[in-house]
Structure 1
Amino acid sequence: KEWTDDFLTWNPADYGGMEKIVVEPSKLWIPKLAIGNSANRLFDGEHYKRFWITVRYSGDARWQPGGVFAIACALDMNFYPFDDQNCTMEIETWVYTADKVNLSHSLDRIGLDTYIPHGEWTIIKTSVYSINKIYPYYLTESFPEVYCTIYVRRKYTFYFMYILLPCLMLSGVLLMIFVIPADSGEKVSLGVSILLAISVFLLLVAGKVPDTSDSIPIIAIYLTYFMLATTLSVAFSVMVVKVHFKSPEHRPPQWLRHLVYNCLAKAVGI
């Protein structure tokens, strides 16, 4: 943050050529700024006191406060883990109106010179813009605001190797239920094992997705339907095993004969 204070000017020749000084924030005027969409406190005066202000002889003041801020952002988890997200930090002043303080930006993007790459996200782009916002309860006045937006893309390699790929492989194994002979004794066991594995993967996905997300990931929907298909496969396998071990003289129930001879036969054209 930079501003000019006409009361902080001096002649360097009168002070041994000193052109700039560092001053404690409590001794100067500083803009009262807040993060409008902060997930915790809006103001923290004690935190800002740690960052001193550099003042030049011309009255130009430069203040660079920093910190770790929690921002409330909406997430779209539809395409998790192949999703892109964006989050905006709303920097504003609730004390001064636009005619008293002007919040402006020198660049249209966020500087990433000191950025350390993240293990889960890749930055796609950033943007910065400023507006004068009018609130419903202050229709005659506007307040300056600066919006800093960052767009990120999730690195999906980990999720593909440990969640997606095993699920696709289990989908192929599920077909083996209908190939295994009924008298082998493993037909139902395989289905139950797949059902348990799918339950574990569904729990993993549920643990990664935020509880407040407005959408359900496609992978979660896929796992749910896969679990339903596995449950039906196990149920049909139990019926097949039961019929297989019935005596040849045993007549099937009336409802089953009606289903096969009337409904299924007509459906397949027999």
Structure 2
Amino acid sequence: MTWNPSDFNNTSGLHISPKDMWIPELIIHNAVGDTYELRTSNFMKLAISSNGFINWNTGGNTETSCKVDISRYPFDTQTCHILIGKSSSLDYELMMIPAAAKINTFLYDENENGEWELLDTSVGYHAINEQMTFLKCTLILKRRPLFYILNILLPVILLSLMNVLSFKLSINCGERMSYSVALFLTFIVLLNIVADEMPKVSKTISFLQLYINTQLAIGMFITTISVFLVHSTNSKTNDDVTGAVHAVYKFCKLCSKKQQVRPESPKGDDQHEDKYIKSGQCEKLEMEHVQQTPGSANAETNQSPSIVDAVNVIDDTLFWSFLMLFVLITIVFLLLCLF
């Protein structure tokens, strides 16, 4: 396929149809559906130069498969491959050599795709065995997360915070149960939306799904607690606190007492300071004080709070506990996705 241009009216090149010349049998092995053959594009002519160099720009539209990892969704980065190989020829019959180390992207418009951002490309070898190698074109894609942050992640975080705020509603308010149940159902709807948006992959689990399921479980637990508190409030014929509510109330009061700061002793009073330092001395002094004034102190200690006061103390303790749990789970989720 070489000639002297001066012998043919200075013709240095020509174009012919792929049907009139031998062309390599190249296929895309990981195409979705039927195997895509590159040599079926007969409308792309072969450019032949007088020195024997032949250039054939072929191609077409096809879909290829890609193994995805959705654990960091929607902040994930995917690495996809396109395998271009020979149908039956071995390496000693047809050798495939990449013309460049990267894929030519001069026809690629980065603003055209609003979901993915192309970070990097590469072209290398993929060996099946010693006598057959493929070309492995690699694409590194990063998902654009803004849409998912505004429509999925931010609503989930806000609803989780609103779920904790249910403890700030008065127990006498009839909207407390409807408020908790409405948030619980909203989490279920969001979970279905996330499941529809993500690829159907069972090998990896998305941290976002785990986060929503965790918040769903917390919402169910908060709703259950609200049911018992409302039931305990409305089922009592008197204001006395008994049973499980009284036990939880005592535990909450104990936790609140531990958080109080012990008063500092005056400077220079060594004897008063030793009373706070010595082990068990404070308890001994308190017991002596109770024995000296049994009428007033015992009456104050044994006095049972009203059911509304007890529930208010429980609600306040549960609010701060679930708020810290919400902040901790959210920080861990963001760290796993971003880093």
Q: TM class by shorter-chain length?
A: 0.7 to 0.9
Question: What is the rounded CA distance, in whole Å, between the counterparts of 1:46 and 1:95 in structure 2?
Answer: 14
User: How does the TM-score come out when normalised to structure 2?
Assistant: 0.69
1:98-138 C-alpha deviation (Å, 9 max, x unpaired) = 1111100121111111111221111111111125531xxxx
State the match for 2:125 in structure 1: 130
State the match for 1:240 in structure 2: 229
State the match for 1:76 in structure 2: 69
Residue in structure 1 matching 2:99, options 71, 87, 106: 106
Question: What is the rounded CA distance, in whole Å, between the counterparts of 1:249 and 1:86 in structure 2?
Answer: 67
What is the Cα deviation at residue 36 of structure 1?
Answer: 1.8
Residue in structure 2 matching 1:147, options 136, 141, 147: 136
State the match for 1:5 in structure 2: none
State the match for 1:56 in structure 2: 49
Give matches, 1:111-190, under 5 Å. 111-117=104-110, 118-134=113-129, 142-190=131-179
- The structure richer in strand per residue is 1
What is the Cα deviation at residue 263 of structure 1?
Answer: 8.7
1:126-185 C-alpha deviation (Å, 9 max, x unpaired) = 111125531xxxxxx611311110101111011111111111111111112111012211
1:57-88 C-alpha deviation (Å, 9 max, x unpaired) = 22211111121221111110000000000101
Tell me the secondary structure at the aligned position of residue 74 of structure 2.
coil
- RMSD over equivalenced CA pairs, Å: 2.4
User: How does the TM-score come out when normalised to structure 1?
Assistant: 0.85
State the match for 1:3 in structure 2: none
Task: Work out which of the two has the higher radius of gyration on C-alpha atoms and give 1 or 2.
Answer: 2
What is the Cα deviation at residue 268 of structure 1?
Answer: 7.9
Question: What is the rounded CA distance, in whole Å, between the counterparts of 2:174 and 2:90 in structure 1?
Answer: 78
Identity of aligned residues (%): 25
How many residues align? The count is 253
Question: What is the rounded CA distance, in whole Å, between the counterparts of 1:10 and 1:213 in structure 2?
Answer: 60
Amino acid at match of 1:40: G
Tell me the secondary structure at the aligned position of residue 140 of structure 2.
strand
Question: What is the rounded CA distance, in whole Å, between the counterparts of 1:266 and 1:208 in structure 2?
Answer: 44
Question: What is the rounded CA distance, in whole Å, between the counterparts of 1:148 and 1:84 in structure 2?
Answer: 17
Q: Give the direction of change, closer, same or farther, for the CA distance of 1:191–1:261 in structure 2 (3 Å limit).
A: closer
Where do 5+ consecutive residues of structure 2 fail to align? 256-339
Question: What is the rounded CA distance, in whole Å, between the counterparts of 1:247 and 1:264 in structure 2?
Answer: 16
Question: What is the rounded CA distance, in whole Å, between the counterparts of 2:249 and 2:61 in structure 1?
Answer: 65
Contact 2:29-2:36 within 8 A present in 1 as well? no
What is the Cα deviation at residue 34 of structure 1?
Answer: 1.2
Tell me the secondary structure at the aligned position of residue 153 of structure 1.
strand
What is the Cα deviation at residue 236 of structure 1?
Answer: 1.5
Question: What is the rounded CA distance, in whole Å, between the counterparts of 1:46 and 1:33 in structure 2?
Answer: 7
Q: Give the direction of change, closer, same or farther, for the CA distance of 1:233–1:266 in structure 2 (3 Å limit).
A: closer
1:3-49 C-alpha deviation (Å, 9 max, x unpaired) = xxxxx222222221111111111110000011122222224477421
Amino acid at match of 1:130: Y
Tell me the secondary structure at the aligned position of residue 186 of structure 2.
helix
What is the Cα deviation at residue 239 of structure 1?
Answer: 1.6
Tell me the secondary structure at the aligned position of residue 74 of structure 1.
coil
Q: Give the direction of change, closer, same or farther, for the CA distance of 1:213–1:11 in structure 2 (3 Å limit).
A: farther
Q: Give the direction of change, closer, same or farther, for the CA distance of 1:228–1:149 in structure 2 (3 Å limit).
A: same
Question: What is the rounded CA distance, in whole Å, between the counterparts of 1:182 and 1:267 in structure 2?
Answer: 17
- The structure richer in helix per residue is 2
State the match for 2:311 in structure 1: none
Residue in structure 2 matching 1:36, options 4, 16, 29: 29
Q: Give the direction of change, closer, same or farther, for the CA distance of 1:59–1:103 in structure 2 (3 Å limit).
A: same
Question: What is the rounded CA distance, in whole Å, between the counterparts of 2:48 and 2:231 in structure 1?
Answer: 88
What is the Cα deviation at residue 247 of structure 1?
Answer: 3.2
Amino acid at match of 2:185: L
Tell me the secondary structure at the aligned position of residue 150 of structure 1.
strand
Q: Give the direction of change, closer, same or farther, for the CA distance of 1:193–1:29 in structure 2 (3 Å limit).
A: same
Give matches, 1:86-97, under 5 Å. 86-97=79-90
